[in-house]
Structure 1
Amino acid sequence: MALSLFECESIVGELNRALVGGFIQKIHQPRLLTLTLDVRTRGQTSTLLVCVEPRFARLHLTSQKFENPPTPPPFCSFLRSHVEGGRIVKISQEPGDRIVFITIVKAEEVCVLVIALIGNQANVHLLNEKKLTLRSLRESRVKVGERYSPPTLKPVKPPEALPPPSMAGRVPQNGIVIQQEGEMSEPLSESFTEGKGAFREIFPVSAELEARYGQQEQEEGQDAILEQQLFQARKALKHAKRKIQALQEDFKKTERFREYARYGELLKSHLHEIKNGQESIAMVDYYDPALPTLTLPLDPAKDAVWNMEDYFRKYHKYIGAQEHLQPRLDQTHQEVVRLEAKLAQLGQGIIDPDFPPKPRKTPGHSVPSGTRTSKGKPAPAQAYRTYTSVDGLPILVGKTAKDNDHLTLKVANADDLWLHARGTPGSHVVVRLEKGATVPPETLKDAATLTLWFSNLRKSGKGEVIYTLRKFVRKGKGFKPGSVTVEREKSLWIELKEDRLKRLKGETSPG
């Protein structure tokens, strides 16, 4: 739920007391629709959080720590160039609406940061002194260069939330530390032994909003996990039912070979009668008490012995189906029962932390590192790690710079997908694709996650990954190992997710 009109009025009052007169030290954009501004005032630094995600649109001071991308997004960079180092001279609110104006003066130039907390139209705009729009965080009805005017909306009724902030027992604002360049936001000093308790006493309205929205975001995160598990369970159930159908069809194909051992034995006693080019043979079935006459088809292009052995081969297919298909069919039927029970559980809103289960490791055909060949010599270690995406596609990850070259230039096919972390050392990553195939969205996320994990961006937990087809990756003459030129690349911003990483690591093949 977005910030109400009453809460907006309360927080504007608190921000006026805390930030007016302060200087904007640093601006970050830790999430797509979230900004943080570190404001230095009266010997302390406070962090202002601005969120225009429609479901959680809000504005308040924060005690929360944020990890920021290594490269600031475009809007963040634009704000830094225009208002970083500027002084906040006024914070006001549009009468009767949830729109806040922060007036900033930098080098005698005036800018206005407009924070519109109005549901689906929530946005951040930067205006010049003439109220002309310089840039917006989200795509907006207000274009660059146009004069900004607040939208006409129906009045918002004050909700029963956030009573007027009490300033009783307020702690002197002298325990906030400055955030240094490149550090994570950490507004409260360790001198406050009560930590967030001190933050609540100093900024009661902000503390209330931070707690409430933090809880809402956490609950929505749980809802997203539940929805994802429901999706995965439905997908797995659909796959299991298809597998049963395929196994049953295989059974039908082999069932007709049930009597082929008998036919082979009959042919064995009539081999001398079969001539070259013969298409069938009639014989008495001595295994049947009624002694009927059987006519068995033959392959005229093959000799008598081959035809006899072919009947035995097909009988062994039937035996193999009984030995191998039936257990798989029974196991898949059990899987269907389990998944149907899992869906019923998820339908009641009960999340299973162990679902989906880790796939069992399956032996590959490559020789594991450290083993020996038939001649007793150590076998060379595989030049890449192998993973399997959620869609069952192989993902190959280079180990060293030389291995990256080998993977990209020798192993990958022209139509495979190639990935690398932007602007930082890391592994080359290849997704095996059929010619003309499009990479599935979840496979792309799996591959991008591995690309980020095996790069220098691992510690940050997020970053930009570029990808293109392997045929657009080339090795320049004289390039160092692992260095390539890339054309027609696209990019994807990815954050490391523990569940996705655990699933992928569970499918790593030896190497």
Structure 2
Amino acid sequence: MPTTLNWRELEKLTQSISSTVAGLFVEKIFVPARPRFLEGFLKGELAIRLSSKQHSSILLFSIRPRHPYVTIRENEKLKAYPEATHSPFALVINKYLYGNKVDHVEAIKQERVLIFWFQKRDNRQLGLVLILIPSSPEALLIEKINDTSTILASSKVSSKVGTSFTPPDGSKAPPNPEVRDDLLKNFRLWNVINEELEQEAFCQRMSKVEQTLRKLSKQTKSSISHQERSLTEARKDRNWGHYGDLLKTALSDPPPLQTNEHGRTVRIIKDFFTGGALTVECDPKLSVQEQVEKFYQLSKRNKRRIKESEFQLQELYCIQNQTEKLLNTRIEIGDWSALDNYEKEAGIRFGNTEAQERERKQPQLGKTFTTKEGLIVKVGRSKDENLALTFKLAKGNDVWLHARGRPSAHAIIQLPKGKTASLDSLLDAANLVLYYSGYDYRSDNPEKVEVDYTFRKHVKRIKDSSEVSYTNNRTLIIKIDSDRIKRLTCRA
């Protein structure tokens, strides 16, 4: 890794840094913002803004394991990350070094160790020690009185505080490592470090997306297995509707209740379809009419169970296919636009601001779909979700849709600034309103339904009610479109 410098390179770099920072004052110590990393910053990286009346520089250093570095850039505007957690070490050096003047920078001979010495005060001199050994990097704040140096703070081991500091002797260092002069010229090192950080952030984000998708795939496969078992059991259940039909034909002369060899109460009913007899378990507490109704109820419940399992399986198959497709996607390292699209398709959003954290912890409002032109449509699936979607999530210029004159799902089309919704997007959203309001897209003769749409700012909630009123609306008269529903919901 080119940013890992050997002792000769650090020695040469120290000369350049010393000539740049000598005479400058510590203005600010902060954690730099790294917006492309998952946390928005890097633990173990610190920046020191040094300035005078004529000059300003940023000293950047890292004590991350395997990634230690130090570099400097004049007149650089590096932003601080306000939500970053400051380590105890950072707080201590800020307390001691703020306002201090840099005297010079020293490189320990044949060692990857730099010391930034600050101006003496009453025979006392503070020093910031950077130990840039990749396997065990560390930063120390030391105080030198006469010839004795004492450790005031350590980034790594608090037990060192109060002990004396002795620079290493460098006896085990390689005698004459190669110096990459091109890396040390014209602040090239600063640019190389930032290029490598960009690559590291890209790989970290890519790895996180793949990890999230693999976890989702595993959960989806488990859910599919559960739903398939449930569907198989439901299909193997007794034909309750057939039992009800047979017993209903015998209402005028019902067969008597009997007890079988297992001690269960049964009726023996003639099966007109096969010509034989059918033994059916019955509840002795129910009349014949009530038993017929019970059979029909069990039949409806089983059909509903089958339908719900089939519905859930279709959604799960769709999710699994999409997840596998995303996992097989290959993106070239450094193609941030492709990675952003990849994260959006995967439904993953990274960030670490307080607002994003609050948003992450809140439950998602509405089911989300995307129209052909790329607009986001959200649909409420319950009374509470409808109200939250309309009055908490939607913005004033988002398009709001509702079936006219009847209870229905609410839908919103989220519009970017300056964007309008095409007729095709309106039809997508209107069909989703009907679909989530219980209209069957598989019907051979669907009814025509009026769907109103208006801007969200024209929708008001009726006081002390869960209902709404709206104005300035237009109306679409449509039949639910099975092709649109299949495209939007991934149904075959």
Asked if 1:65 is matched to 2:78, the reply is yes
Give the structure 1 partner of residue 46 of structure 2.
Answer: 35
Q: Which residue, 132, 144, 147 being the options, matches 2:164?
A: 147
Residue correspondence of structure 1 range 62-101 to structure 2 within 5 A: 62=73, 63-69=76-82, 73-101=87-115
Structure 2 counterpart of 1:133, which letter?
Answer: I
Asked if 1:340 is matched to 2:324, the reply is yes
The Cα shift of 1:236 comes to: 1.8
**SS class of match (2:326):** helix
Q: Which residue, 155, 158, 182 being the options, matches 2:177?
A: 158
8 Å Cα contact 1:4-1:158 kept in structure 2: no
Structure 2 CA distance, aligned partners of 1:26 and 1:331? 54
Asked if 1:357 is matched to 2:357, the reply is no
Residue correspondence of structure 1 range 455-470 to structure 2 within 5 A: none
Q: Which residue, 125, 148, 154 being the options, matches 1:110?
A: 125
Measured at CA, do residues 295 and 354 of structure 1 come closer, stay the same or move farther in structure 2, by a change above 3 Å?
same
Measured at CA, do residues 8 and 84 of structure 1 come closer, stay the same or move farther in structure 2, by a change above 3 Å?
same
Asked if 1:252 is matched to 2:216, the reply is no
Aligned length: 333
The Cα shift of 1:246 comes to: 1.6
Give the structure 1 partner of residue 404 of structure 2.
Answer: none
The Cα shift of 1:12 comes to: 0.3
8 Å Cα contact 1:49-1:60 kept in structure 2: yes
Asked if 1:137 is matched to 2:162, the reply is no
Measured at CA, do residues 3 and 282 of structure 1 come closer, stay the same or move farther in structure 2, by a change above 3 Å?
same
Uncovered stretches (5+) of structure 2, i.e. residues with no partner: 33-41, 349-366, 369-377, 394-492
Q: Which residue, 12, 30, 44 being the options, matches 1:10?
A: 12
Q: For residues 276-332 of structure 1, what are the alpha-carbon distances to aligned partners after superposition, in whole Å with 9 as ceiling and x for unaligned?
A: 9982111221121xx222111123344433332222122223433454433442443
Query: Which of 344-353 and 9-18 deviates more?
Result: 344-353
The Cα shift of 1:365 comes to: 3.2
Give the structure 2 partner of residue 233 of structure 1.
Answer: 213
Q: Which residue, 49, 53, 63 being the options, matches 1:52?
A: 63
Measured at CA, do residues 370 and 261 of structure 1 come closer, stay the same or move farther in structure 2, by a change above 3 Å?
closer
Measured at CA, do residues 104 and 364 of structure 1 come closer, stay the same or move farther in structure 2, by a change above 3 Å?
farther
Structure 2 CA distance, aligned partners of 1:56 and 1:295? 78
Structure 2 CA distance, aligned partners of 1:152 and 1:246? 66
Measured at CA, do residues 347 and 257 of structure 1 come closer, stay the same or move farther in structure 2, by a change above 3 Å?
farther
Measured at CA, do residues 267 and 139 of structure 1 come closer, stay the same or move farther in structure 2, by a change above 3 Å?
farther
8 Å Cα contact 2:258-2:266 kept in structure 1: no
8 Å Cα contact 2:26-2:97 kept in structure 1: yes
Measured at CA, do residues 307 and 240 of structure 1 come closer, stay the same or move farther in structure 2, by a change above 3 Å?
same
Measured at CA, do residues 282 and 99 of structure 1 come closer, stay the same or move farther in structure 2, by a change above 3 Å?
same
Identity within the alignment, %: 18
Structure 2 CA distance, aligned partners of 1:66 and 1:106? 30
Structure 1 counterpart of 2:156, which letter?
Answer: R
Measured at CA, do residues 367 and 12 of structure 1 come closer, stay the same or move farther in structure 2, by a change above 3 Å?
closer
Measured at CA, do residues 334 and 21 of structure 1 come closer, stay the same or move farther in structure 2, by a change above 3 Å?
closer
Structure 2 CA distance, aligned partners of 1:19 and 1:79? 17
Structure 1 counterpart of 2:61, which letter?
Answer: V
* C-alpha RMSD of the superposition: 3.3
Structure 2 counterpart of 1:37, which letter?
Answer: I
Measured at CA, do residues 64 and 367 of structure 1 come closer, stay the same or move farther in structure 2, by a change above 3 Å?
closer
Measured at CA, do residues 233 and 286 of structure 1 come closer, stay the same or move farther in structure 2, by a change above 3 Å?
same
Structure 2 CA distance, aligned partners of 1:38 and 1:136? 21
Q: For residues 94-132 of structure 1, what are the alpha-carbon distances to aligned partners after superposition, in whole Å with 9 as ceiling and x for unaligned?
A: 111110011113543311110111113112100111321
Structure 1 CA distance, aligned partners of 2:386 and 2:110? 69
The Cα shift of 1:215 comes to: 0.9
Structure 1 CA distance, aligned partners of 2:183 and 2:265? 98
Give the structure 2 partner of residue 374 of structure 1.
Answer: none
Asked if 1:320 is matched to 2:300, the reply is no
Query: Which of 295-304 and 224-233 deviates more?
Result: 295-304
**SS class of match (1:333):** helix
**SS class of match (2:383):** coil
**SS class of match (2:135):** helix
Structure 2 counterpart of 1:145, which letter?
Answer: G
TM-score by length of 2: 0.60
The Cα shift of 1:27 comes to: 2.3
Structure 2 CA distance, aligned partners of 1:139 and 1:113? 16
Structure 2 counterpart of 1:69, which letter?
Answer: P
The Cα shift of 1:33 comes to: 1.4
Structure 1 CA distance, aligned partners of 2:207 and 2:194? 20
**SS class of match (1:221):** helix
The Cα shift of 1:16 comes to: 1.5
Structure whose alpha-carbon radius of gyration is higher: 2
Measured at CA, do residues 279 and 51 of structure 1 come closer, stay the same or move farther in structure 2, by a change above 3 Å?
same
Measured at CA, do residues 315 and 106 of structure 1 come closer, stay the same or move farther in structure 2, by a change above 3 Å?
farther
8 Å Cα contact 2:44-2:64 kept in structure 1: yes
The Cα shift of 1:219 comes to: 0.7
8 Å Cα contact 2:26-2:51 kept in structure 1: yes
